[in-house]
Each structure stands twice: as C-alpha cells, then as structure tokens.
C-alpha cells in the first residue's frame, strides 16, 4: 500500500515545551490510523501542523509522495487534508447547504455559487457515503451525530482525501459511535484515509487498522489492534503499568444523605434544563448519572451545590433543607464538590496551591485563630496534602494555574476529600486527565464510598459511570428517565436510554439481541 501522507521528523517547540519531538508518522491509503496519547502528549499540535494552523520548527510533510508546505488551512484543504473538529464549526440557524457553502467562496475565487448545484452535490455525497443528510435541513434541528456527518460532508465537498477526526466520539452515545465507525468504513471503501485521535482504548482497538502512541511529544511505538490490548496500550501511553479496572466490593448503602424532590432548574436562557427530577443518594453508595452532555446534568449539579437557583422543588442534605442556600452554607452542611469546570469553579488560578487547598476552611480553626490567619499551619497542612494526594509541583507556593490539568484536579480532590464530608458531588471528575490520574481519582472515590460518604457521580463518559456506580440514573432532556441497578445495566441498554429510547422498550430491545 502506498503512503498517502508522510510526516518526517516533525519538531515543534513552544516556549518551555517541546510539544512534538522528531515525530515520524505515515498514513497508508485506505487505512484508519489511530493516534493515541494522554492529554498534553502532542496530538493536537501535530494535527494542527498538518492542518496549517502551526508551522513546525523542523520536519517535512509529504502528500502522495510530494513535499508540501502548508501555511494555512486553505493550503491543507488544497492538499486534500480535512479536519473534523472536536467542537463543530457549524452555524445552527443556517441550513446544511448554507453551511457547506460557507467559506467556500475563497476556494472558488469569489465566483458565485449556485445553491441548487451545491444542494444536489450534497445529496449525491450523502447517498454515496450513506450519510443520510438532508441538504435543506437546519443545523439546529439536527442531532449531534448528524451534525458530525455534516462536518464530514463539508470535507468531502472540498474533496479531502485524508480526514482527521479529533476525539469524534466524545459527544456521541455508544450506538452513535458505532454509527460513526460504519461511516468511517464507508469512507475507506471509497478510497479515503483517516487519522483518528482518541484517548479511549476500547475504540482504538475496535475501529483502527494501526495505532501509534505518543508520549511527551515522542512516538513511543506503533502496533496493530490484533497485537494489542487495553493494558498494553495504557502502559505505552503512561510509561508504567496501569490498573484499568477499579476494584470494589459491593456497596452497603445506609441512610439517605441527599434527597431531591421534584427539582426544576432553568438554564441561562431561561429554558427548563432540569425537568421535575427526584432521587436520593445514600451513605456508602455511588449514584452515577449517565447521559450525553447537555441533557441538564450541569444545571442539576449547579443547583445542588448552590451555584444556580432552582425554579421549583426541594433539596435536603442530611435532613436539612438546603434548597436556596449559598455554596458556602451547603459546604458547611457537609457537602464536597468536584466541579465540572475546574478552572472556573474549582480553583483560583493565580493563588498558590496552599491558598487553594484552604479555600473552604481558611476562616476556621486551626487556620484562623481570632481573625488571624495561621500561615505556617496552612503551609504545613498543604505540604502534607501534596504528599498524600501525589500532587506534582515544585512546591506549595506554586500557583494553581501553572500546574497540569491532572495536578489541578488533584488539588481540588485533596481539598474536597480531606475534610469530613457526608456527601460528594463529582462532576466529570476525570475529564481531560491522563490515565494515571484517572486511576488515582477513581480509587479515592471508592475509598470515600467505603468510608460511608454518599457520592453523586456525574459523567458523560459512560465507561466511567459503568465502572464506579452502584446505581445508574439516566438523564435525557432534563429528566431522569430511569434508574438502574448497576448489575442489571449493560452499556447497550444505558446507551439506548441515553439516546431517548423509552426504558421499557430499550429493555425489550436488548433482550431480543
């Protein structure tokens, strides 16, 4: 097979960081080549170089054996390379055709494009590649899965022969992800080639022909799915053996800690985001909330933690009504929070680690005596937590903002887990973290559960919910549509309910299969 793409000796330096270190990568015609690596490994940098957003300090790019200088995305498209971005670049109030036409004027040198001709071409492409996209539909009416296929059509319309997918399944249900893998195979059948970026080990094994792992900017190895398994890939990514499966005993739930009754919450646009939700979480159990992101989980958590007012309904924590209490008051009732957006809600980035660790407790004994801050005691306590929670930092005075994502998250976990709490809300607790940090945080959550804390885990990573939760509540369009015992929940079943299939029907469907 010939190489449609060849990257030779690509090096990219940012101030203080060697993001890509002499990387070689080839893509054969008609293959799916997965690029696997932890957060910060250098995957996006490499792809942005290929896409013309960055210039490499060293190295060369060959397409169909011909050396190319790629100075802009336009050069990249002209060379036949297209990227399906992680966040779609579509305009909701435009139709599919209008979105495809957008930006194309540049390519055609300003020549007027006939909408009907474009629509016809979209329909042809849709049929040819089995994408099921209606050229006249408004993007705002399309599901996320279909929007992704519109992005693909945009690239096909521009005659891309190499398609780069950057974490394409992050926003999909498991069934939608399988649909995408079918589409990828249709693309291959028609002679396209694909670079597939992901951190999900199962997907790499399922969907790729070849796998290249990068770590700290360097290629550490290449393999094929037949010769790899999750453990092997994870240890290549991390550079040491990693425990992928969480060891946990059956739960032993006791008294109700959190009791939510008929909760309704509005989002920023005053739309109902949480629709009459009721549930309880008990001591010693993890209730997992599964759902595609954007189904009300964020607003639910904000309401539970005092960051957003609810519209109707009640919240009780250990029998105390905390419905409209402030975040500090809710914290004082024994609640801990790992927020979804750690930089916005979890840390003060320009404060030191010491100060961030004392954010909830600085005004209490032993950190304040009278009104006087006990700085030595705070510092000593911080140093102990840095040690205990394995926070990698030069020292306790380093600002939180200069830590890596995984270490920022550990600062939050250290702060939230080191005081006595009866209830923990962990929202997307491992999003964007490396495998090593994920392993660490999962173990701490189980430890808290076993110590009798009630844990509410909200995650759009279904694998994470399946691994940790004792019961699984599925959220769809603001409602909790079903609560399953973890031992009865399969990924297929939860995936169907996440996609809006009626739970009773979903249960019949998985029985039949």
Partner touching 363 among ligand ADP, Mg ion, none, CB below 5 to 8 Å by kind: none
CB 44, min distance to Mg ion, A? 3
How many CB atoms are located within 10 Å of the residue 96 CB?
Answer: 27
Question: Which residues are near ligand ADP by CB under 6 A?
Answer: 14, 17, 19, 37, 39-45
Partner touching 212 among ligand ADP, Mg ion, none, CB below 5 to 8 Å by kind: none
Partner touching 153 among ligand ADP, Mg ion, none, CB below 5 to 8 Å by kind: none
Q: Does 45 bind Mg ion (CB under 5 A)?
A: no
Of the pair 43, 449, the CB lying nearest ligand ADP is at 43
Between β-strands 162-166 and 320-321, what pairing exists: parallel, antiparallel or unpaired? unpaired
Contacts of 255 (CB under 8 A, 6+ apart): 282, 283
β-sheet bridge partners, residue 265: 274
Partner touching 41 among ligand ADP, Mg ion, none, CB below 5 to 8 Å by kind: ligand ADP
Q: What is the DSSP string of 49-74?
A: HHTTSS--SEEEEEETTEEE---SHH
Partner touching 253 among ligand ADP, Mg ion, none, CB below 5 to 8 Å by kind: none
- CA geometry: angle at 363 spanning 360 and 366, to 5°? 100
From residue 214, give the alpha-carbon distance in Å to each of 34, 35, 120, 198, 220.
Answer: 11, 7, 42, 12, 5
Calpha distance 126→500 (Å, rounded)? 25
CB 103, min distance to ligand ADP, A? 23
Inter-residue contact 361 to 385 (CB < 8 Å): no
What is the number of residues in the chain?
A: 513
Contacts of 165 (CB under 8 A, 6+ apart): 84, 184, 194, 195, 196, 197
Q: Which stretch binds Mg ion (CB under 5 A): 40-48, 122-130, 282-290, 407-415?
A: 40-48
Of the pair 432, 452, the CB lying nearest ligand ADP is at 432
CB 339, min distance to ligand ADP, A? 21
Of the pair 3, 404, the CB lying nearest Mg ion is at 404
CB 316, min distance to ligand ADP, A? 41
Helix (H) or strand (E) holding 315: strand 312-317
Residue 319 gets which letter from DSSP? T
CB 363, min distance to ligand ADP, A? 35
CB 121, min distance to ligand ADP, A? 33
Residue 314 gets which letter from DSSP? E
Calpha distance 12→375 (Å, rounded)? 42
Partner touching 52 among ligand ADP, Mg ion, none, CB below 5 to 8 Å by kind: none
Of the pair 44, 453, the CB lying nearest ligand ADP is at 44
Calpha distance 132→127 (Å, rounded)? 7
Of the pair 44, 409, the CB lying nearest Mg ion is at 44
Of the pair 17, 451, the CB lying nearest ligand ADP is at 17
Cα of first residue to Cα of last residue in the chain, in angstroms, is: 38
CB 17, min distance to ligand ADP, A? 5
Peptide bond into 227 cis (omega under 30): no
Of the pair 39, 368, the CB lying nearest ligand ADP is at 39
Of the pair 44, 453, the CB lying nearest Mg ion is at 44
CB 391, min distance to ligand ADP, A? 18
Partner touching 19 among ligand ADP, Mg ion, none, CB below 5 to 8 Å by kind: ligand ADP
CB 43, min distance to Mg ion, A? 5
Collapse the DSSP code of 19 into the 3-class scheme (helix H, G, I; strand E, B; otherwise coil) and give the result.
Answer: strand
CA atoms within 13 A on the CB side of 350: 0
CB 349, min distance to ligand ADP, A? 15
Partner touching 215 among ligand ADP, Mg ion, none, CB below 5 to 8 Å by kind: none
Partner touching 17 among Mg ion, ligand ADP, none, CB below 5 to 8 Å by kind: ligand ADP
CB 403, min distance to ligand ADP, A? 12
CB 197, min distance to ligand ADP, A? 7
Select from 20, 26, 44, 212 the one that contacts Mg ion (CB under 5 A): 44
Nearest residue to the partner Mg ion, using Cβ: 44
β-sheet bridge partners, residue 474: 290, 482
Of the pair 438, 475, the CB lying nearest ligand ADP is at 438
CA atoms within 13 A on the CB side of 75: 16
Of the pair 40, 478, the CB lying nearest ligand ADP is at 40
Helix (H) or strand (E) holding 492: helix 491-498
Calpha distance 223→81 (Å, rounded)? 24
Q: Which stretch binds Mg ion (CB under 5 A): 43-51, 177-185, 350-358, 468-476?
A: 43-51
Calpha distance 504→483 (Å, rounded)? 12
Of the pair 122, 433, the CB lying nearest ligand ADP is at 433
Calpha distance 3→67 (Å, rounded)? 13
Partner touching 39 among ligand ADP, Mg ion, none, CB below 5 to 8 Å by kind: ligand ADP
Inter-residue contact 413 to 347 (CB < 8 Å): no
Of the pair 52, 284, the CB lying nearest Mg ion is at 52
Pick the closest to residue 288 from 486, 510, 133, 147 (CA basis): 486
The site for Mg ion (CB under 5 A) is made up of 44
């Amino acid at each position: 097979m010939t190489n449609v793409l060849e990257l030779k000796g690509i090096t990219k330096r940012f101030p203080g960081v060697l993001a890509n270190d002499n990387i070689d990568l080839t893509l054969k015609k008609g293959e799916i080549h997965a690029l696997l690596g932890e957060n910060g490994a250098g995957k996006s940098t490499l792809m942005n170089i290929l896409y013309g957003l960055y210039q490499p300090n060293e190295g060369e790019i060959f397409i169909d054996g011909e050396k190319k200088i790629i100075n802009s995305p336009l050069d990249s498209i002209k060379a036949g390379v297209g990227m399906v971005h992680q966040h779609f670049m579509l305009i909701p109030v435009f139709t599919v055709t209008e979105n495809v036409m957008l930006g194309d004027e540049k390519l055609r040198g300003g020549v007027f494009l006939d909408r009907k001709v474009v629509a016809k071409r979209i329909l042809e492409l849709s049929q040819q590649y089995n994408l099921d996209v209606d050229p006249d539909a408004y993007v705002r009416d399309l599901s996320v899965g279909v929007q992704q296929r519109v992005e693909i059509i945009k690239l096909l319309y521009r005659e891309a022969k190499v398609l780069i997918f950057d974490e394409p399944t992050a926003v999909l249900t498991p069934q939608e992800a399988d649909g995408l893998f079918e589409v990828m195979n249709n693309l291959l059948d028609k002679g396209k080639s694909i670079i597939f970026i992901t951190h999900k080990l199962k997907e790499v094994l399922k969907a790729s022909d070849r796998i290249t792992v990068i770590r700290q900017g360097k290629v550490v190895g290449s393999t094929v799915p037949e010769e790899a398994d999750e453990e092997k890939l994870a240890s290549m990514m991390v550079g040491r053996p990693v425990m992928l499966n969480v060891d946990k005993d059956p739960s032993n739930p006791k008294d109700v800690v959190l009791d939510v009754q008929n909760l309704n919450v509005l989002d920023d646009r005053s739309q109902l985001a949480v629709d009459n939700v009721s549930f309880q979480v008990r001591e010693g159990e993890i209730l997992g909330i599964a759902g595609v992101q954007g189904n009300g989980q964020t607003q639910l958590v904000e309401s539970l933690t005092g960051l957003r007012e609810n519209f109707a309904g009640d919240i009780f924590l250990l029998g105390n009504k905390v419905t409209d209490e402030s975040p500090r008051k809710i914290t004082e009732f024994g609640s801990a929070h790992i927020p979804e957006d750690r930089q916005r809600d979890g840390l003060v980035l320009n404060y030191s680690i010491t100060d961030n660790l004392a954010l909830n407790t600085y005004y209490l004994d032993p950190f304040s005596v009278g009104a006087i801050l006990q700085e030595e005691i705070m510092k000593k306590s911080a140093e102990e937590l840095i040690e205990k929670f394995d926070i990698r930092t030069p020292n306790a005075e380093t600002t939180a903002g200069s830590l890596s994502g995984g270490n920022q998250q550990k600062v939050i976990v250290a702060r939230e887990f080191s005081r006595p709490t009866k209830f923990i809300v962990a929202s997307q607790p491992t999003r964007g973290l490396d495998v090593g940090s994920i392993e660490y945080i999962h173990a701490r959550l189980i430890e808290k559960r076993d110590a009798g804390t009630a844990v509410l885990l909200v995650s759009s990573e279904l694998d994470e919910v399946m691994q940790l939760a004792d019961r699984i509540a599925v959220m769809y369009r603001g409602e909790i549509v079903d609560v399953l015992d973890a031992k009865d929940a399969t990924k297929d079943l939860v995936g169907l309910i996440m996609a809006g299939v009626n739970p009773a029907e979903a249960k019949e469907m998985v029985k039949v299969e």
